[in-house]
C-alpha cells in the first residue's frame, strides 16, 4: 500500500474494500473452475465404469436392451430438456424412467446421455457439466430420486441405483 499512503484515510479505505471485493471475485472464480474440473473428472470415470458394466452385461448375454439406441438417444435428449428449464420437469423424468425395463436399458441411457451442460438458474454461475447421475442429483432431492427412479427400479428387478 506504499503508493497509497499519500491518500486520505477514506480513500485508502475505499481501495482496501475494492481490493477485498476483487480478491473475493477471483477466489470465487478459481473455486468454480476447480470444482468444475473435479466434477468433469468424476463424470469421465463414471462413464468409463458404465461402459465396463455394459461390456459385462454383453458378456453374460442374459440382459439385452429392450429399447433401441435411437429411442434411448431421444430419451436422453428429453431428460436433458427436463433439466434445462428453470426448475425441473419431474413428470417428464418419471415418464422416461417408467419406460426403462432392465439394467441394459438404464446403462445404455446413461452412456448415451454422456456428459452434458445444464444451464445454472443463477445466471452468473457456471453450467453444471456432468453425467445423467450428476444432473439428477443436482435437480432432484435424494428422496425424489428414490421415489421416482430407484423404487421403480426395485420393482422391475433392475440392480442399478442413482
Could you identify the residue written with the cell 453425467? 131
Tell me whether residue 108 or residue 113 sits nearer to Ca ion (CB atom). Answer: 113
- Give me the least distance between CB of 17 and Ca ion, in Å please: 35
- Least Å distance between CB 114 and Ca ion? 18
Nearer to Ca ion, 88 or 92 (CB): 88
> What is the residue whose three cell numbers read 428422496?
143
Q: What's CA 17's distance to the chain center, in Å? A: 36
List of residues contacting Ca ion (CB under 5 A): 83, 88
Nearest distance in Å: CB 120, Ca ion: 9
Cα distance between the two ends of the chain: 53
Cell of 119: 444451464
Q: Give whole-number Cα distances, 21 to 16, 24, 27, 84, in Å.
A: 9, 5, 10, 31
Rounded to a whole number of angstroms, the minimum distance from the CB of residue 12 to Ca ion is 45
Judged by beta carbon, residue 83 or residue 113, the one nearer Ca ion is 83
Helix (H) or strand (E) holding 43: helix 9-60
Instruction: Give the integer Cα–Cα distance in Å for 128 and 113.
Output: 14
For the CB of residue 36, give the shortest distance to Ca ion in the complex, in Å: 17
Between 138 and 146, CB nearer to Ca ion: 138
**What are the residues facing 129 on neighbouring strands?**
117
Amino acid at each position: 500500500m506504499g503508493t497509497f499512503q499519500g491518500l486520505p484515510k477514506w480513500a485508502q479505505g475505499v481501495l482496501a474494500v475494492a481490493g477485498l471485493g476483487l480478491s473475493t471475485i477471483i477466489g470465487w472464480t478459481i473455486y468454480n473452475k476447480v470444482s468444475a474440473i473435479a466434477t468433469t473428472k468424476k463424470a469421465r470415470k463414471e462413464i468409463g465404469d458404465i461402459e465396463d458394466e455394459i461390456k459385462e452385461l454383453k458378456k453374460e448375454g442374459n440382459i439385452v436392451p429392450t429399447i433401441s439406441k435411437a429411442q434411448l438417444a431421444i430419451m436422453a435428449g428429453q431428460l436433458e430438456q427436463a433439466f434445462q428449464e428453470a426448475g425441473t420437469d419431474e413428470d417428464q423424468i418419471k415418464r422416461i424412467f417408467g419406460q426403462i425395463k432392465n439394467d441394459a436399458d438404464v446403462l445404455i441411457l446413461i452412456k448415451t446421455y454422456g456428459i452434458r451442460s445444464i444451464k445454472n438458474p443463477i445466471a452468473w454461475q457456471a453450467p453444471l457439466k456432468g453425467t445423467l447421475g450428476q444432473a439428477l442429483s443436482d435437480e432432484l432431492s435424494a428422496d425424489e430420486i428414490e421415489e421416482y427412479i430407484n423404487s421403480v427400479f426395485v420393482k422391475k428387478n433392475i440392480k442399478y441405483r442413482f
